[in-house]
């Protein structure tokens, strides 16, 4: 009898649970994004951020974090799955496999949703130019992940430069050369410029600053030509080669893995870097948190750098966005699609942006009397731990299509806001000088087929030239090799597409 | 028809007779056949069924459209590969690495096994064997990291040679040293593990032969040369034939970890190229086409070397 009663009760409970679920069933959305926070595991059980998102949108998020190292490999293989995640971040929106899959209909076409300002106001508010950049055959398949533009630049150790006898602002290429030479002379064990196996960014920063185009340029006849054909490109390489010769660059920089890049500055082995400018304040904050007694400004980011003729050009690290979020057709049915797009729209609104980028008040941040986000000193550890466990890499789903709408807005807690503020200001100041790649919106078949191998020829030769392994003649021979193996054809194809679009 | 084949046929019985006998055999040894079953299923599911996937080498395979829905492009990928002048470079790099592997790495486990076999103290031999297996279980990522620490520009080996020679040798970033580093790492990592099969073969050697040879006054080297080596000869040949089958396999993980802008001209092999095209760029058809070509060459090499083994009077693979 007892058994029967308990069985009955269990069944009753099951039914109530089922009916409850049916009445108010949250809509589950699966998401795959790159993972950068590798030291702490993501916690799904009892995650207050997930609960808040579900409360606000009725969406139950199922996050799948994949290490950023090799993320592209995982995207390739995910495309072959029968049960892919509904939303998928793609870091290279122009990868051949993405273009092919989009053309075959693997992703939902979002063009009409983006045009629907009434139902999806945040998505519709995105700049048409960037949407155009990620479009494929005139259709938009993904929501771009907006990034600060131009973002790339130069920063250096302010204190070391002062000690070395350089105590003014870097305003011209000559200033930069003088600074680099003085930093190179600091000691035999240290180097001026921090370079590693990823040299392409460094090379782009200096060659474009010298006046070279970004990947592809337009000559006086209005034709497309490759960046290395510009004399300024060689000037930039010569600048690095000279610095290498005088001991300003680690002779074995090419052996240094990218993961060591930050540590070289932290160990005080090199004092200048051409990279993302936001790294300047990240390094500053690292020193403040990890080195006793650091209170003054150690790093300085450089503003516009003028060439001899007074003109200024800046290499943008991106085209205003870093990859996109795609909706897999295999995972989302046509009737569910508006719900998923609606969720993406919410992610781009003030509420969504704040939660995805900053988390929750009282969990990962607090709000001060001026209405800014901050973390009280006694909560720093708790906030950092919560942020790693619960917020993890949610910001990778953040798109920020209509611009930054975070509310409350961010402010640094340690009072040293200068570099962060300077970064935001520099992006605005440098943006007009940014040199964009004119071929970005076009698709060249040769670039799809052999682009990776061809650009490797150019970048390998550049590195070897900087390190003095090959001569200028051999460098030019490598350029000829590039041209004969498909570079000329690629140029012709881009020219055709470019002229057709004019 | 030769008499041998006729005999075989008679023994097997023809047509129904053959099937009847097979069935009674299965019935009789059902437990043995049951033991065989998992192996057969494994080969069907994981080796035979995936072979149908080769068809994508002749298609412009887009995952969303699937194997059946993708466009048929015939030999496009093969033409594309041979149309790119670097393929010859990839092939030479692959072959040079393989030949170096064969010449320098292949004999290493045999020599080590022979040395272990000559050890007098059994306990010490066992201990040594265990220690020698350890490197095999270290991930190649770690091996490469250790190499960087020792041979990189701040490593002890780098500094020592720089002092001794007066100029540094760029072990990690020079096309001249690249292949030697790869072979060196392979020898360090796999030699101990490779001894297993040879040591197993050595246990089969009849100890009476040694005693007889000793009575006849044969020294250690003579015994090694006339008894031990001939005893494991067929194992060596077998391993060599198997090795021929993977002549074009260089693996990609090891090479990618060691590759950089300075040594790309020698580090780019077929396997690395397949990985870059297939996984990194998601061009599955192109990668499959190259993989298919590699397999054809490998099978040919195995058949060929097996034939040679037969001619030398060895048993070979089959």
Do A36 and A125 lie in one domain? The reply is: yes
pLDDT of residue B217: 85
Tell me, yes or no, if B281 comes closer than 8 A to chain A by beta carbon: yes
Residue B130: CATH number of its domain: 1.10.3720.10
Do A279 and A310 lie in one domain? The reply is: yes
- Strand ranges (E), A197-348: 216-218, 224-226, 270-276, 299-301, 321-327
Give B281's contacts in chain A (Cβ within 8 Å): 76, 95-97, 452
**A417, part of any domain:** no
Do A204 and A111 lie in one domain? The reply is: no
Tokens of A240: 């690095």
With vertex at residue A124, the alpha carbon angle to CA A120 and CA A127, rounded to the nearest 5 degrees, is 155
Considering only the beta carbons, identify the residue of A254, A329, A453 that sits closest to B173. Answer: A254
Give the pLDDT confidence of A100-143 residue by residue, as tens digits.
899 999 999 999 999 999 999 999 998 888 888 888 888 999 99
CA distance B111 to chain A (A): 34
Considering only the beta carbons, identify the residue of A95, A449, A463 that sits closest to B261. Answer: A463
Give the pLDDT confidence of B53-85 residue by residue, as tens digits.
899 999 999 888 888 888 999 999 999 899 888
Tokens of A390: 């619960």
Do A294 and A336 lie in one domain? The reply is: no
Do B114 and B12 lie in one domain? The reply is: no
Do A172 and A260 lie in one domain? The reply is: yes
Considering only the beta carbons, identify the residue of A77, A101, A252 that sits closest to B152. Answer: A252
Using a pLDDT cut of 90, give the percent of chain A over it: 63
Tell me how far CA of residue B209 lies from CA of A268, B199, B216, B220, B234, in angstroms.
Answer: 68, 17, 11, 13, 18
Give the pLDDT confidence of A173-190 residue by residue, as tens digits.
999 999 999 999 999 889
Do B104 and B33 lie in one domain? The reply is: no
Q: What was the ipTM of the complex prediction?
A: 0.78
pLDDT at B236 over 60: yes
Give CA–CA dist A269/A444, Å, rounded. 42
Tokens of A56: 């606000």
Residue by residue, DSSP assigns A237-261 as HHHHHHHHHTT-B-TTGGGS-GGGH
pLDDT of residue B10: 58
Of residues A12 and A193, which shows the higher confidence score? A193
CA nearest neighbour of A156 among A47, A268, A57, A310: A268
Structural domain total, chain B: 2
pLDDT of residue B9: 60
Q: What is the DSSP letter of A230?
A: S
Using a pLDDT cut of 70, give the percent of chain A over it: 94
Report CB contact under 8 Å: A101, B64. yes
**Residue B30 CB contacts under 8 Å (≥ 6 apart), including other chains:** none
Give A104's contacts in chain B (Cβ within 8 Å): 62, 64-65
Give A190's contacts in chain B (Cβ within 8 Å): none
pLDDT of residue B5: 55
Give CA–CA dist A324/B206, Å, rounded. 69
pLDDT at B235 over 70: yes
**B113, part of any domain:** yes
The 3-state DSSP class for residue A304 equals coil
Tell me how far the alpha carbon of residue B47 is from its chain's centroid.
18
Quote the domain boundaries for residue A208.
152-315+434-501
Do A302 and A352 lie in one domain? The reply is: no
**B194, part of any domain:** yes
**A301, part of any domain:** yes
Do B107 and B242 lie in one domain? The reply is: yes
Considering only the beta carbons, identify the residue of B80, B170, B283 that sits closest to A96. Answer: B283
Do B99 and B8 lie in one domain? The reply is: no
HSE, side-chain direction, 13 A CA sphere, residue A327? 22
Give the pLDDT confidence of B91-121 residue by residue, as tens digits.
999 999 999 999 999 999 999 999 998 888 8
Structural domain total, chain A: 2
Residue A335: CATH number of its domain: 3.40.190.10
- Of B38-42, B188-192, B275-279, give the lowest mean pLDDT range: B275-279
Tell me, yes or no, if A106 comes closer than 8 A to chain B by beta carbon: yes
**B60, part of any domain:** no
Report CB contact under 8 Å: A456, B279. no
Do A165 and A283 lie in one domain? The reply is: yes
CA distance A354 to chain B (A): 33
**Residue B215 CB contacts under 8 Å (≥ 6 apart), including other chains:** none
* Residue A22 pLDDT class (50, 70, 90 cuts): very low
Sign for the pseudo-dihedral over CA of A361, A365, A367, A372: negative
Do B158 and B206 lie in one domain? The reply is: yes
Quote the domain boundaries for residue B44.
3-52
Do A145 and A156 lie in one domain? The reply is: no
Considering only the beta carbons, identify the residue of A100, A105, A485 that sits closest to B85. Answer: A485
Choose the mutation target among A254, A448, A487 for the interface with B, i.e. most B CBs under 10 Å.
A254
pLDDT at B12 over 70: no
Taking residues A204-221, what's their average pLDDT? 95
Taking residues B123-136, what's their average pLDDT? 93
Report CB contact under 8 Å: A75, B282. yes
Asked whether B136 and B189 are in contact (CB, 8 A), the reply is yes
Specify the length of chain A in residues.
502
Give B283's contacts in chain A (Cβ within 8 Å): 96-97
pLDDT at B256 over 60: yes
Residue corresponding to tokens 């003028």: A306
The 3-state DSSP class for residue A291 equals coil
CA distance B56 to chain A (A): 13
How far apart, in Å, do the first and last CA atoms of chain A sit? Answer: 85
Do B194 and B246 lie in one domain? The reply is: yes
Tell me, yes or no, if B145 comes closer than 8 A to chain A by beta carbon: no
Give CA–CA dist B145/A259, Å, rounded. 13
* Residue A318 pLDDT class (50, 70, 90 cuts): confident
CA distance A472 to chain B (A): 16
Give CA–CA dist A235/A74, Å, rounded. 39
**A6, part of any domain:** no
Tokens of A387: 């942020």
Where residue A105 falls (left for φ over 0; alpha for ψ -120 to 50; beta otherwise) is left
pLDDT of residue A445: 86
Do B146 and B33 lie in one domain? The reply is: no
Give the pLDDT confidence of A39-81 residue by residue, as tens digits.
889 999 999 999 999 999 999 999 999 998 889 889 999 998 8
pTM of the predicted protein model: 0.82
Tokens of A143: 């929501």
Give the pLDDT confidence of A270-288 residue by residue, as tens digits.
999 999 998 998 898 888 8
pLDDT of residue A128: 85
Average pLDDT, chain B: 89
Do B295 and B150 lie in one domain? The reply is: yes
A residues 455-484 near B, CB within 8 Å?
456, 459-460, 463-464, 467, 469, 484
* Residue A23 pLDDT class (50, 70, 90 cuts): very low
């Amino acid at each position: 009898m007892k058994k029967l009663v308990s069985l009955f009760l269990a069944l009753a409970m099951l039914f109530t649970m089922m009916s409850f679920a049916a009445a108010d069933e949250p809509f589950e959305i699966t998401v795959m994004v790159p993972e950068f926070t590798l030291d702490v595991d993501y916690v799904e059980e009892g995650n207050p951020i997930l609960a808040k998102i579900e409360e606000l949108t009725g969406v139950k998020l199922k996050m799948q974090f994949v290490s950023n190292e090799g993320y592209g490999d995982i995207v390739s293989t995910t495309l072959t799955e029968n049960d892919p995640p509904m939303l998928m971040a793609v870091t290279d929106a122009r990868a051949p496999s993405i273009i092919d899959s989009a053309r075959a209909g693997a992703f939902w076409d979002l063009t009409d949703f983006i045009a629907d300002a009434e139902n999806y106001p945040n998505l519709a508010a995105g700049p048409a130019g960037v949407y155009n950049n990620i479009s494929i055959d005139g259709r938009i398949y993904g929501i771009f992940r907006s990034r600060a533009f131009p973002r790339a630049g130069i920063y250096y150790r302010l204190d070391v430069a002062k000690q070395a006898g350089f105590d003014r602002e870097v305003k011209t290429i000559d200033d930069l050369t003088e600074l680099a030479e003085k930093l190179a002379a600091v000691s035999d064990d240290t180097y001026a410029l921090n370079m590693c196996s990823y040299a392409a960014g460094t090379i782009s920063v200096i060659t474009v600053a010298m006046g070279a185009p970004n990947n592809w340029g337009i000559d006086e006849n209005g034709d497309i030509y490759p960046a290395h054909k510009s004399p300024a490109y060689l000037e930039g390489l010569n600048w690095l080669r000279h610095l290498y010769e005088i001991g300003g660059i680690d002779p074995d920089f090419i052996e240094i893995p990218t993961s060591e890049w930050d540590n070289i500055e932290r160990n005080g082995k090199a004092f200048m870097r051409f990279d993302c400018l936001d790294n300047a304040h990240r390094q500053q904050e690292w020193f403040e948190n990890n080195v006793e007694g650091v209170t003054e400004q150690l790093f300085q980011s450089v503003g516009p750098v003028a060439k001899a003729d007074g003109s200024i050009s800046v290499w943008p690290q991106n085209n205003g966005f870093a990859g996109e979020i795609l909706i897999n057709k295999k995972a989302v049915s046509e009737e569910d699609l508006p719900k998923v797009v609606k969720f993406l729209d919410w992610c781009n609104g003030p509420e969504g942006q704040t939660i995805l980028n900053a988390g929750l008040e009282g969990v990962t941040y607090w709000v001060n009397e001026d209405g800014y986000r901050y973390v009280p000193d006694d909560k720093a550890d708790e906030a950092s731990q919560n942020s790693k466990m619960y917020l993890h890499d949610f910001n990778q789903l953040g798109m920020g299509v209509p611009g930054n709408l975070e509310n409350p807005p961010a402010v640094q807690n340690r009072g040293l806001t200068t570099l962060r503020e300077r970064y935001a200001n520099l992006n605005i100041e440098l943006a007009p000088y940014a040199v964009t790649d004119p071929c970005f919106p076009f698709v060249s078949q040769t670039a799809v087929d052999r682009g990776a191998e061809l650009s490797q020829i150019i970048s390998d030769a550049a590195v070897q030239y900087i390190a003095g392994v090959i001569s200028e003649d051999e460098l030019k021979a490598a350029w000829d090799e590039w041209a004969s193996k498909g570079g000329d054809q690629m140029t012709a194809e881009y020219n055709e597409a470019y002229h057709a679009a004019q | 028809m030769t008499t041998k084949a006729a005999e075989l046929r008679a023994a097997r019985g023809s047509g129904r007779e053959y099937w009847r006998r097979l069935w009674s055999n299965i019935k009789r040894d059902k437990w043995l056949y049951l033991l065989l079953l998992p192996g057969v299923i494994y080969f069907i599911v994981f080796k035979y069924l995936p072979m149908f996937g080769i068809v994508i080498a002749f298609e412009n395979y887009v995952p969303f459209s699937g194997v059946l829905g993708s466009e048929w492009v015939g030999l496009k990928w093969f033409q594309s590969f041979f149309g790119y002048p670097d393929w010859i470079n990839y092939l030479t790099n692959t072959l040079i690495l393989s030949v170096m592997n064969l010449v320098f790495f292949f004999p290493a486990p045999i020599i080590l096994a022979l040395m272990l076999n000559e050890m007098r103290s059994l306990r010490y031999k066992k201990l040594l064997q265990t220690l020698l297996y350890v490197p095999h279980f270290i991930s190649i990522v770690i091996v490469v990291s250790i190499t960087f620490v020792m041979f990189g520009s701040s490593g002890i080996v780098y500094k020592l040679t720089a002092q001794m020679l007066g100029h540094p040798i760029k072990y990690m970033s020079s096309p001249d040293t690249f292949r030697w580093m790869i072979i060196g790492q392979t020898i360090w990592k796999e030699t101990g593990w490779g001894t297993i099969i040879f040591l197993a073969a050595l246990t089969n050697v009849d100890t009476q032969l040694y005693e007889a040879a000793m009575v006849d006054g044969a020294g250690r080297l003579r015994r090694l040369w006339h008894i031990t080596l001939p005893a494991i000869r067929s194992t060596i040949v077998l391993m060599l034939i198997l090795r021929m089958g993977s002549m074009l396999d260089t693996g990609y993980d090891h090479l990618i970890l060691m590759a950089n802008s300075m040594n790309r001209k020698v580090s780019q092999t077929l396997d690395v190229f397949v990985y870059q095209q297939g996984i990194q760029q998601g061009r599955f058809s192109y990668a499959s086409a190259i993989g298919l070509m590699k397999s054809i060459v490998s099978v040919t090499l195995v058949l060929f070397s097996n034939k040679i083994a037969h001619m030398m009077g060895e048993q070979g693979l089959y």
